[in-house]
Amino acid sequence: MSNELPAFHDVDVAEKRALVRVDFNVHVQDNEIADDFRIQKTLPLIKDLLAKKTRIVLLSHLTERKIHRSFRELIPALERVCGMPIAFAPAIPAAHALQQNVPAPSVILLENLRAFSGEEQNDPAFAKELALLGEAYINEDFSQSHRPYASIVTLPRLLPSFAGPLFQNEIKKLNEALNPPHPFLLILGGVKFETKLGVVERFISIADRIFIGGALANIFFKAQGKDIGDSIYDREALPLIQACRQSPNIILPSDPIFSNGAIMDSGPETNAALKKEIADAAMVVWNGPLGAIEQGFDQGTKEIAIALAKSKAKVIVGGGDTVSVIRRLGLAGAFYHVSTGGGAMLTFLATGTLPAIEALLPNNG
């Protein structure tokens, strides 16, 4: 798939106006950026464009706990992280004005896209308004590329459009997992099983082992009639697992740790067994923590992260919580690939494509 996508380097953007979809959706504390992982991954493209004297308009969203925030207060922090001046445009007309008044090369950040109703509604009129800001479009926001929003799927059909280097690399690395070397181990954790069901169904005949941990395992325990106490589980997903829960490829925690009547983490027996699978694997894909890390139950997740970092396998890691753990442990550089996507990574692994990919493909306008 990656070879079919028109790449950023195929377009001449020197001294032109470029719309760049990025992921600046960061965790904010007191108007400071708590985790700049995705921003740092985007900087090489931005700096490359500036070297070509491009007028850049960055498109992104900023939403935490379903609350849409303004980028206005975050501009100073973004400038410190990016190491460059960034002009803020509260609306599309303001962006037009800044393009006329700010000398090239320049970086303009449009207001949070989620503040515009046309974004999530995939309104063609809104996409056309955005298109007037640029002469080319580059998608460098892999993490949002599973969403059928205006700036993801309609805007690229209105301009010469390209995949950025980060986007290209994501697809290249994740494509390897679709036809992996063996033994291949898939590790899935977290809470929402519905988002991971497609991955389980696709890899049930591909993976040598699929380890289901975290709150995802609680659904399997419940389906088996085991007592899970007050443990959380995705009730709506319970009927969905019948086809895969009997597979011999699937491994569940053997000694889940309970706290206050609920399963909170994987136990030492489970961790030891999983470490053995990791040691034998040629490739591992991991998405989702093994315990309730937000409540301090992160022992299992940490142990597995360390084991994966030490293994000889090609390890691909994704998911916001999972990546946060490995970054806190200082292990991000130890893996074959750390994806910027959570839901996008899962969607690509389940289907082999994304709405953004389809929108970027030639002759698909």
**167 closest CA partner among 195, 191, 144, 194:** 144
Confidence of residue 338 (pLDDT cuts 50, 70, 90): very high
Instruction: Please tell me whether residue 184 adopts helix, strand or coil conformation.
Output: strand
The pLDDT of residue 254 is above 60: yes
Could you give the domains of the chain? 8-167 (3.40.50.1260), 179-351 (3.40.50.1260)
The pLDDT of residue 9 is above 80: no
- Total number of residues shown for the chain: 365
**114 closest CA partner among 69, 65, 57:** 69
Residues 6+ apart with CB under 8 A from 330: none
Confidence of residue 237 (pLDDT cuts 50, 70, 90): confident
Q: What are phi and psi of 211, to 5 degrees?
A: -95, 125
The pLDDT of residue 292 is above 90: yes
Greater pLDDT, 194 or 168: 168
- Provide the CB-side half-sphere exposure for 210 (13 A, CA): 24
What is the mean predicted confidence (pLDDT) over 287-314?
Answer: 96
What is the mean predicted confidence (pLDDT) over 120-143?
Answer: 97
Instruction: Please tell me whether residue 285 adopts helix, strand or coil conformation.
Output: strand
Torsion of CA 355, 26, 338, 272, to 10 degrees: -120
CB 132 within 8 A of CB 96: yes
DSSP code per residue over 6-66: PBGGGS--TTSEEEEE------EETTEES--HHHHHHHHHHHHHHHTT-EEEEE---EETT
Query: Percent of the chain, pLDDT > 70?
Result: 97
Q: What is the pLDDT of the chain when averaged over all its residues?
A: 92
What is the model's pLDDT at position 276?
97
Q: What are phi and psi of 273, to 5 degrees?
A: -65, -40
Greater pLDDT, 10 or 312: 312
Does the global pTM surpass 0.75? yes
What is the model's pLDDT at position 245?
66
CB atoms within 10 A of CB 103: 7
What is the mean predicted confidence (pLDDT) over 26-48?
Answer: 92
Give the C-alpha distances (Å, rounded to integers) separating 65 from 25, 28, 78, 175, 254: 12, 11, 20, 31, 33
